[in-house]
Structure 1
Amino acid sequence: MTTVTTVTAAAREPVGELLRQWRERRRISQLELSLAADVSTRHLSFVETGRSSPSRHLLMRLGEHLDLPLRERNRLLLAAGYAPVYPHSPLDGGELAAARDAVRRLLAAHEPYPAVVIDRSWHLVDGNDGIGLLVEAVAAELLEPPVNVLRVTLHPDGMAPHIANLGQWRAHVLGRLRREVAATADPGLAGLLEELRGYPCADPEPEIEVPGPGDVVLPLRLRRDGRELSFFSTVATFGTPLDVTLSELSIEAFYPADAATADALSAR
């Protein structure tokens, strides 16, 4: 039922209008896109205005050069009356068994340090035992599925009261989410951004990220049991995803930013 609704909605939206919206969102002129995709500017203009019907191959080329998410490339094809190219497999299905196993191995190998797997909406998909340290003071209702990682981080009943550099970390989180909204045009992410902006924060938020003394990355400084733990994080994605589900997964792994934090985690 969900698939039928999605296909019908996409088919009702003119493909030329979708294409123009994405081109303008990427701040690319018709000339620039036509040169990159090896199509005449005249033909591209006709496609955008509905005077010409694009081929399936042309739409795939344009989607690639516009760096569209796989989900949006499928939507572009559907709007033109073509079948989607990229599969959208369930994460617990057999098609993604190898990828699922690789993610779980990575999570386990990262312990005792925290690591989480998140989807396109910042919902928690999986995590290792190390994340218990991050969420042990979070209100139970925020940990009811689906758990939104950013909501847990910045909510006043979440991690926020325990983050020593909340103003810095909040600015970092909101900036990252704002860039994702610009890249994906996802209305769900835009709504989440507005929600997070409404959360209270007494700490000043810097307009730009400037390192403090000795900082080479922006750390997450978390108060726990009368001491301060400091982390930095890395983000990993699948390098060559051809499935929508895989393309929208990311793994955020936290590492101790100082020796005291490393010792505290090893002792748990």
Structure 2
Amino acid sequence: MTTVVSGTGVGPLLRGWRERRGVSQLELALRADSSARHISFIETGRSRPSEEMILRLAEHLEVPVRERNALLLAAGYAPRYAETSLDDPAMGPLREGMERLLQGYEPYPAIVVDGVYTVVAANQGIAMLLEGLPEHLLTPPLNAMRITLHPEGLAGRIRNLREWRGHLLAQMERQIALARSKPLRELYDEVAAYPLPETGGVPADRGDPTAYPYFALPLQIEHDGHVLSFVSSISTFNTPMDVTVAELAIESFLPADPATVKYCQGLAAAEGRA
């Protein structure tokens, strides 16, 4: 016996995720230890999948945790994943762990953002880069993309702004393709429309560009008359069981040349942070 699911139910949602991932019904069935016929029945609403099947399909389709809850709700099941505020006492060990990690990156910048780039934690290296920015950009909640790409923000200090801006926008586009996030789309539309500041994108006088070849696109940014070069690395949590944790990302900025190492270490020593 089959149960008819409405056209706005879990079936069309699963089909949308499958098509977004470019996976055929047969391929998904093989991955999920099912049959193409069963997958077809689920997608057309002729069969109501079990909670276990929804989660299995979502896992193989790499559906974000927040959207897995939406799939379960569409099928008439309770959400599986909580969304706990970072201020909750239960998140204490997580907050403490992130703070220790951020401090460990010093004197180099490191930051923690959520799914729409709201800054939830940062170290002194980040504070160094934000010195002198206008108050309206630094009023909580801070947003990393706004601070970076706004003409009155870091954009005017970034020497390779066009390249770095293109990298950030492409990063957001990939995230939008992976998750149906209206707030993220709105943020993208906002920052993509920012004009390039007249002082941005000016090549830095770095001497011989082959002396220290970069292994990744660097962020080249001015600070107090010096041009610093960083490459960024982004870390996320493995197998998150909470929506909040699933959407956190830790981005660290590692020095891309010896001059940046020397400058950051010297600045930290002068401020007693070394």
Give me the TM-score of the superposition, normalised by structure 2: 0.87
Q: Which residue of 2 aligns with 1:125?
A: 120
Q: Which residue of 2 aligns with 1:68?
A: 63
* Aligned-pair CA distance for 1:81: 0.7
Q: 1:5-58: CA deviations, max 9, x gaps? A: xxxxxx994111111111111111111111111222122112111111111111
Distance across 1 between alignment mates of 2:105 and 2:214? 23
Residue pair 2:13, 2:71 contacting (<8 A) in 1 also: yes
5+ long unaligned stretches in structure 1:
1-10, 205-211
The number of equivalent residue pairs is: 251
Distance across 2 between alignment mates of 1:74 and 1:47? 17
Distance across 1 between alignment mates of 2:155 and 2:94? 33
Q: Which residue of 2 aligns with 1:40?
A: 35
Query: How is 1:184-223 mapped onto 2 (pairs within 5 angstroms)?
Result: 184-201=179-196, 213=210, 214-223=213-222
Q: 1:166-187: CA deviations, max 9, x gaps? A: 0110111111111111111212
Distance across 1 between alignment mates of 2:187 and 2:194? 11
Give me the TM-score of the superposition, normalised by structure 1: 0.89
Query: How is 1:86-97 mapped onto 2 (pairs within 5 angstroms)?
Result: 86-97=81-92
Distance across 2 between alignment mates of 1:28 and 1:187? 24
SS at match of 1:267: helix
Q: For the aligned residues, what is the CA RMSD?
A: 1.8
Query: How is 1:154-193 mapped onto 2 (pairs within 5 angstroms)?
Result: 154-193=149-188
Distance across 1 between alignment mates of 2:8 and 2:139? 36
Deviates more, 1:60-69 or 1:108-117: 108-117
Q: Which residue of 2 aligns with 1:22?
A: 17
The question of 1:108 aligning with 2:107 is answered: no
Q: Which residue of 2 aligns with 1:134?
A: 129
Q: Which residue of 1 aligns with 2:46?
A: 51
Distance across 1 between alignment mates of 2:143 and 2:178? 20
5+ long unaligned stretches in structure 2:
1-5, 202-208, 268-274
* Aligned-pair CA distance for 1:128: 1.0
Distance across 1 between alignment mates of 2:219 and 2:133? 16
Residue pair 1:74, 1:84 contacting (<8 A) in 2 also: yes
Deviates more, 1:191-200 or 1:62-71: 191-200
Q: 1:133-156: CA deviations, max 9, x gaps? A: 211132210111221101110110
The question of 1:230 aligning with 2:226 is answered: no
Residue pair 1:137, 1:159 contacting (<8 A) in 2 also: no
Q: 1:69-89: CA deviations, max 9, x gaps? A: 111111100111111112221
